[in-house]
Amino acid sequence: MEFRVPAFIRLLFTASRLTRNYMKISIIITVNMVIVIGLYYVFRPDKAHTTSSFFTVVLDSGSTGTRVDVYEWSRNIRSIHNLPIMLHSLPDNSTRSPLRHDACHYHCMQTEPGLDKFVHNFSGISTALEPLLQWAELQIPPQRHKETPVFLLATAGLRRLPSEDADWIIENAMDVLRRHQFMYRRSWVRVLSGKEEAYYGWVALNYKLGRLGNSLEVPTLGVLDLGGSSLQVVIETGGSRDSQHFIQSKIGSAAHQLLAYSLPAFGLNAAFDRSIVMLWKDQLAKDSFNGMVELGHPCLSSGFTQNYTCYGCWLNDINLQNVSVEQSKQSLQFYLIGDPDWERCKLLARAATVHPNNSDWLQLSADLDCNSQSSLPNSTDLLNLTARRPAIHFHALSGFFAVYNMLKINPEESTAEFMLRGQQLCSRSWEDIKRNYITRNYMEQSCFRVPYLLSLLQDGFCLNDSEITFGPGDISWTLGAALVEGEYLWSTKAESPTGSFILRKMKVIPCLLFLFALSLWCVAIRYCWKIKRSIALSMPISGRRGPAIGASFPSSLHPKRQLN
Which neighbouring-strand residues pair with 70?
Answer: 57, 90
Burial level of 207, CB count in 10 A (0-12/13-18/19+)?
Answer: buried
Q: Is 229 a known ligand-binding residue?
A: yes
CA distances from 292 to 218, 289, 309, 360 (A): 56, 8, 10, 24
Q: Which amino acid is at 348?
A: L
283 annotated among ligand-binding-site residues: no
On whether 230 is known to bind a ligand per the annotation, the reply is yes
- Reference 298, options 336, 362, 344; nearest CA is 344
Taking the chain, what is the end-to-end CA distance rounded to the nearest angstrom?
24
231 annotated among ligand-binding-site residues: yes
Cβ–Cβ under 8 Å, residues 57 and 68 = yes
Which residue among 72, 147, 196, 197 is the active-site one?
197
Q: Is 495 a catalytic residue?
A: no
Q: Which of 258, 449, 396, 388 is nearest to 380 (CA)?
A: 388
Q: Does the annotation list 473 as a binding residue? A: no
Taking CA atoms, 428 is separated from 339, 373, 395, 446, in Å, by: 12, 37, 30, 12
Instruction: Count CA atoms within 13 Å of residue 173 on its CB side.
Output: 33
Helix (H/G/I), strand (E/B), else coil: 415 = helix
Residue 17 main-chain phi, psi, to 5 deg: -65, -45
Q: Following CA atoms 505, 506, 508, 513 in sequence, which dihedral angle do they give, to the nearest 10 degrees? A: 130
- How many contiguous H segments (helices) and E segments (strands) does the chain have? 16, 16
Cα–Cα distance, 308 to 5 (Å, whole number):
110
Question: In the chain, what is the greatest distance between 2 CA atoms, to the nearest angstrom?
Answer: 158
List, as residue ranges, the binding site.
228-232
Q: Please list the active-site residues.
A: 197
Binding residues for ATP: 228-232
